Amino acid sequence: MNFNVKNIRKDFPILKKKINGNQLIYFDNAATSQTPKCVIDSISNYYNNYNSNIHRGVHSLSEEATEEYEGSREKIKQHFNAQFKEEIIFTSGTTHSINIVSNGFLNQLNNNDEIIVSGLEHHSNIVPWQMMAKKNNAKLKVIPIDDNGELKLDDFKRLISNKTKLVFVNHVSNTLGIINPIEEIITVAHEYGALVLIDGAQSAAHFKIDFQKLDVDFYTASAHKLCGPTGVGFLFGKKRLLEKIDPFMGGGEMISDVTFEETTYADLPHKFEAGTPNISGVIAFGVAIDYMNKIGFDNIQKYEDELLNYANSKLKKIDGLKIYGDVKNKTSVISFNIEGIHPYDIGSILDKYGIAVRTGQHCTQPIMDHFKIPGTVRVSLSFINTFEEIDILFDAIIKAQSMLS
């Protein structure tokens, strides 16, 4: 389809909202993307017309719900080019997905093993591994970042060894927008026999990803970053690897046979989907994937790059404003501070003008410690944003700076 941002914005009811008397300008897409009406309607349609629990039901409502639920699994498998449908595990989101993997390796590693995390990670890709390592005594190593916020790959190549069993890196930094060289990281890790988990929470909304081409072992993403609802996401894992690790949760759906002496687990993907899932959320996730594919990820990436370049050039004109992670290979995220002004104060003033930005550490305290700052103002752009909104942001930052200086 032809990319027309004016028409696309009509699909998002919330963009009509006014904040403090001003038209909402939503620049917090890295936290949660906004939701088009077709996705919202799909949730209402489920509850209005075929609300029922899935799998094992012989009645019509259950069969319809199951068909739609499993249809979303197929859509995600196709979109990300997984080899098998059962490699897509539905979860509550990226954090849940990472915890499934860290728990799965809890009893497979010991004090002779090492794991490597990048210095750019969200807390959700640090803390689960620390919890695991505390129990099995695996050694956690960190890939450092340079003054621009990019990973030091030479250091990674020195850190990795035959003792390394797992490497976990985000595809895109949620704080800086930097796109990490995961292809090279995966290649190097595999040369040492290490497995790789990629946190794709911040990448999946911006460009197409091909699991088989990447040869990635585990990959995670969340629906609410992809125009879908909150509380749902997925874990991709190579089939042979998922079959080797224990489930994170026990209960209904994930079993084959249960006796008081022993329980055997269901086949993939159900082995990791204990309990009643977020059925309407999973169905809506599939609708969101369809919606974004209709717009076209090439169109999305091209337009967001144009927005990023324009916003960068505008903000750099503001005296005392420093952008962190100002590198070439990045998505449409700008983290900045203004000399002498706390980021929270800037965010509060921008809200008075109807502009939603994120302030703070963005669940990446190690990055803030690296730059020796308390936090940043993060502007995260999406294909629903406009150049005119960036102009309004620029003027509002100038006013905030004048008020707070």
Each residue's pLDDT tens digit in the chain (405 positions)? 579 999 999 999 999 999 999 999 999 999 999 999 999 999 999 999 999 999 988 999 999 999 999 999 999 999 999 999 999 999 999 999 999 999 999 999 999 999 999 999 999 999 999 999 999 999 999 999 999 999 999 999 999 999 999 999 999 999 999 999 999 999 999 999 999 999 999 999 999 999 999 999 999 999 999 999 999 999 999 999 999 999 999 998 888 999 999 999 999 999 999 999 999 999 999 999 999 999 999 999 999 999 999 999 999 999 999 999 999 999 999 999 999 999 999 999 999 999 999 999 999 999 999 999 999 999 999 999 999 999 999 999 999 999 998
Measured distance CA(389)–CA(379) in Å, rounded: 12
Looking at the fold, whether 372 and 256 belong to one and the same domain comes out as no
Do 205 and 382 touch, CB atoms closer than 8 A?
yes
Looking at the fold, whether 152 and 231 belong to one and the same domain comes out as yes
> What is the predicted pLDDT for the residue at 405?
86
Q: Residue 221: inside a domain, yes or no?
A: yes
Strand stretches in 223-357, DSSP E: 233-237, 255-258, 263-265, 321-324, 333-338, 355-356
Looking at the fold, whether 371 and 302 belong to one and the same domain comes out as yes
Looking at the fold, whether 127 and 244 belong to one and the same domain comes out as yes
Concatenated DSSP letters for 226-241? Answer: TTS-SS-EEEEE-HHH
Strand stretches in 206-274, DSSP E: 218-222, 233-237, 255-258, 263-265
User: At 77, phi and psi to the nearest 5?
Assistant: -60, -45
Please report which helix (H) or strand (E) contains residue 23, including its range: strand 22-23
Measured distance CA(120)–CA(131) in Å, rounded: 19
Measured distance CA(382)–CA(333) in Å, rounded: 9
Looking at the fold, whether 88 and 217 belong to one and the same domain comes out as yes
Looking at the fold, whether 287 and 331 belong to one and the same domain comes out as no
Q: Residue 132: inside a domain, yes or no?
A: yes
| CATH number where 25 lies | 3.90.1150.10
Do 311 and 334 touch, CB atoms closer than 8 A?
yes
Domain end residue (candidates: 258, 275, 293): 293
Q: Residue 35: inside a domain, yes or no?
A: no
| CATH number where 145 lies | 3.40.640.10
Domain end residue (candidates: 293, 320, 351): 293
Measured distance CA(238)–CA(190) in Å, rounded: 14
Do 279 and 42 touch, CB atoms closer than 8 A?
no
The structure tokens listed for 128 are 């689960």
- What's the mean pLDDT when you consider all of the chain? 97
User: Residues, the chain, total?
Assistant: 405
Measured distance CA(171)–CA(211) in Å, rounded: 12
Q: Residue 158: inside a domain, yes or no?
A: yes
Looking at the fold, whether 78 and 26 belong to one and the same domain comes out as no
Domain end residue (candidates: 249, 270, 293): 293
Given the residues 140, 142, 323, 363, select the one marked as catalytic.
363
Number of domains in the chain: 2
Give Cβ neighbours of residue 258 (< 8 Å, ≥ 6 apart): none
Looking at the fold, whether 152 and 286 belong to one and the same domain comes out as yes
Give Cβ neighbours of residue 154 (< 8 Å, ≥ 6 apart): none
Looking at the fold, whether 22 and 107 belong to one and the same domain comes out as no
Q: State the DSSP code for 283.
A: H
Do 131 and 371 touch, CB atoms closer than 8 A?
no
Do 355 and 25 touch, CB atoms closer than 8 A?
yes
Q: Residue 335: inside a domain, yes or no?
A: yes
Whether 363 is catalytic is: yes
CB atoms closer than 10 angstroms to residue 342: 15
Looking at the fold, whether 89 and 197 belong to one and the same domain comes out as yes
Looking at the fold, whether 286 and 300 belong to one and the same domain comes out as no
Please tell me the pTM assigned to this model.
0.96
> What is the predicted pLDDT for the residue at 1?
59
Partners of 335 in beta bridges: 324, 378
Looking at the fold, whether 99 and 13 belong to one and the same domain comes out as no
Domain hosting 155: range is 40-293
